Amino acid sequence: MKKELLMASALVSTLGAASVAQAVTATMAGSMKVGVEFESPDSGVDTNNVKDQSNFNISLSETTDAGTTISTSFEIVDEGTVSADDDNAIKLTFTDGSALELLNAGNAAGTHVVAVPGAGGEQGIGGTSINNAPGDVDFGAGSTALGVEWHSAADFLADGLKLSASYSTDNGAAKTATARLENSWGVGATYVTTAGDTTLTIGGGVAEGEVANTGTQGSDKGGFNIGVSAVTGDLTVGVGFGDGDTFVANDSTASTNRQVDGSVLKAGIKYVTGDITLALGMSAGEGKDGNFGTAGTTDDSTDSTSASVTYAVASGVSAVLGYTTVDENDEGSSATTGGSAWYVGATMSF
């Protein structure tokens, strides 16, 4: 009987202690996209696919008595197979507006990439697996999970200026035949100003990292990105550029690690008129890839142009019609994986 009383007492005290801790503040957001895509590759047969995609995001935050806000988030995405994004940092936001991200923090050079308008929709043409032309302007901004990133408060040193700096290191595991990023650093900045009726955003960053494997060492991962966005009333225009080095670990075709020296240019324009949003975007990426320790001599390239019309049907509900055309070259010769694609669908967001 004494044992049962002790167990009951322990259970009650545990529940009582647990009840003292209050739940953090949680907010939810998400969307559901349903549509159909029609692909017309340069070679092969035309296909159509139903796109059924959903995502659900939970943001958690709480503020201490000292005024420091502790926050994080996670996301569940269903694009045919359910996956969870658990690579989010613990973020501490201090009373002066500065912040510190701990673990999974990312690279500061990527934090300050300027958003360039692009077409809506879920259309696209898959490229060949051996075409290693980069597609994002921050492709050189790598990081490991063991990282931290500091963010300044707004108007740091000058009105409209924000700065970030990051560092990440490796987990101490032994090298393997697969190339991996061992450590990285990055710095980035965003400056916002006005010129008449136009709001200008200028941003970018520099990153560098060390790559390691058990074989021949190749070029490190790193580079820079810069972008400009201008908003005048309902019109937004943007352009971004990135240049640097990256790597592909155990390429699926060559079965070896590859080093890539590449660059990407992106540009876009968006105009909102009433319930209709018109968008046009383009991307041009090129890169020379080769085995680690051997620089590539011929270009891989991927050029794409996309356009879309989005209509706001109701609050949180939009209909989208999108089109994309892609042209690819691998090792200086025309690839057969380019083509065009259409998408028509609807998105419901909350």
pLDDT grade, residue 79 (50/70/90)?
Answer: low
Are 182 and 208 in contact by the 8 Å Cβ rule? The answer is no
For the record, the structure tokens of 151 come out as 């963010």
CA distance 200 to 190: 10
Residue 31, pLDDT above cutoff 90: yes
Over residues 265-287, mean pLDDT: 96
pLDDT at 3: 39
With residue 349 as reference, give the H or E element that holds it: strand 339-349
Please tell me the pTM assigned to this model.
Answer: 0.83
**Whose structure tokens read 């987990």?**
171
**Whose structure tokens read 């990292």?**
209
Extended strands (E) in the chain = 25-41, 47-63, 69-78, 82-85, 90-93, 99-102, 146-151, 161-169, 180-195, 198-212, 221-232, 235-248, 258-273, 276-291, 299-314, 317-330, 333-334, 339-349
Mean pLDDT, the chain, whole residue set:
86
User: Cα separations (Å) of 246 from 105, 211, 234, 266?
Assistant: 19, 9, 37, 18
Residue-wise pLDDT for 96-152, tens only, equals: 999 999 998 999 999 999 999 999 988 888 666 678 888 899 999 999 989 999 999
- The amino acid occupying position 270 is K
Residue-wise pLDDT for 163-210, tens only, equals: 999 999 988 888 888 888 889 999 999 999 999 999 999 999 999 999
* DSSP characters over 128-174: PTT-----STTTT----SEEEEEEPPSSSSSTTEEEEEEEEE---PP
For the record, the structure tokens of 41 come out as 């590759």
Residue 16, pLDDT above cutoff 70: no
CA 167 to chain centre: 18
* DSSP characters over 241-256: EEEEEEEESS-TTT-S
Which CATH superfamily is 24-349 part of? Porin (2.40.160.10)
Q: Which of 44, 14, 32 is nearest to 341 (CA)?
A: 44
